Amino acid sequence: MTPVRALIQGRDSVLLMGVLNRTPDSFSDGGEFLEEEAALARVRAMIAEGAEIVDVGAESTRPGSTPVPASEQLTRIGGVVRAAAALGVIVSIDTTLPEVAERALDDGATVVNSTSLDPAAELGELAARRGAALVLMHSRGSMAEMQGFSLYADDAYGDVVADVAREWHEAARRALARGLPREDLILDPGLGFAKNARQSLELCARLDELCALGFPVLVGPSRKSFVARAAAAPGEPLAPPEDRLGGTIAATLACTEKGAAIARVHDVGPVRQALRVAAAIRASMGAPPPNPRSAPREEEPHA
In tens, the pLDDT along 122-146 reads 999 999 999 999 999 999 987 666 6
pLDDT-derived band at 295, boundaries 50, 70, 90: very low
Q: Which domain holds residue 232?
A: 3-294
DSSP state of 242: G
pLDDT at residue 89 greater than cutoff 90: yes
pLDDT tens digits, one per residue of 206-243: 999 999 999 999 999 999 999 999 999 999 999 999 99
pLDDT-derived band at 61, boundaries 50, 70, 90: confident
pLDDT-derived band at 149, boundaries 50, 70, 90: low
User: For position 292, what pLDDT does the model report?
Assistant: 47
Q: Considering the domain boundaries, does residue 179 fall inside one?
A: yes
pLDDT at residue 258 greater than cutoff 80: yes
Q: Using an 8 Å Cβ cutoff, are 164 and 210 in contact?
A: yes
Q: Considering the domain boundaries, does residue 301 fall inside one?
A: no
Query: Angle 268-284/245-257 helices, nearest 10 degrees?
Result: 40
Q: Considering the domain boundaries, does residue 303 fall inside one?
A: no
Question: Exactly one of 224, 229, 258, 272 is catalytic; which is it?
Answer: 224
Residue 285: other Cβ atoms inside 10 A: 7
pLDDT-derived band at 296, boundaries 50, 70, 90: very low
Alpha helices in 191-296 (DSSP H): 197-205, 207-211, 225-231, 245-257, 268-284
Strand 15-21, strand 262-265: pairing: parallel
Q: Considering the domain boundaries, does residue 196 fall inside one?
A: yes
- pTM equals 0.92
* Alpha-carbon span 108 to 162, nearest angstrom: 36
Question: Exactly one of 178, 229, 244, 264 is catalytic; which is it?
Answer: 264
pLDDT at residue 151 greater than cutoff 90: no
- In 3-state terms, what secondary structure has residue 140? coil
Q: Considering the domain boundaries, does residue 300 fall inside one?
A: no
Least reliable range by pLDDT among 8-22, 139-153, 194-208, 273-287: 139-153
DSSP state of 230: H
224 annotated active-site? yes
Q: Considering the domain boundaries, does residue 207 fall inside one?
A: yes
pLDDT tens digits, one per residue of 155-171: 999 999 999 999 999 99
264 annotated active-site? yes
Q: Using an 8 Å Cβ cutoff, are 34 and 42 in contact?
A: no
Q: Considering the domain boundaries, does residue 270 fall inside one?
A: yes
pLDDT tens digits, one per residue of 14-48: 999 999 998 875 555 556 778 899 999 999 999 99
**Percentage with pLDDT > 90 across the chain:** 81
User: For position 25, what pLDDT does the model report?
Assistant: 58
Least reliable range by pLDDT among 3-12, 27-36, 58-67, 133-142: 27-36
How many domains are there within the chain?
1
pLDDT-derived band at 291, boundaries 50, 70, 90: low
| Residues whose CB falls within 8 Å of the CB of residue 146, separated by 6 or more in sequence, listed in order | 63, 64, 193, 194
Instruction: Supply the CATH number for residue 99's domain.
Output: 3.20.20.20
User: For position 142, what pLDDT does the model report?
Assistant: 73
Per the DSSP assignment, residues forming a β-bridge with 16 are: 263
User: For position 294, what pLDDT does the model report?
Assistant: 41
pLDDT at residue 302 greater than cutoff 90: no
Chain mean pLDDT for the chain:
91
Four-CA torsion 2, 14, 83, 75, nearest 10 degrees: 90
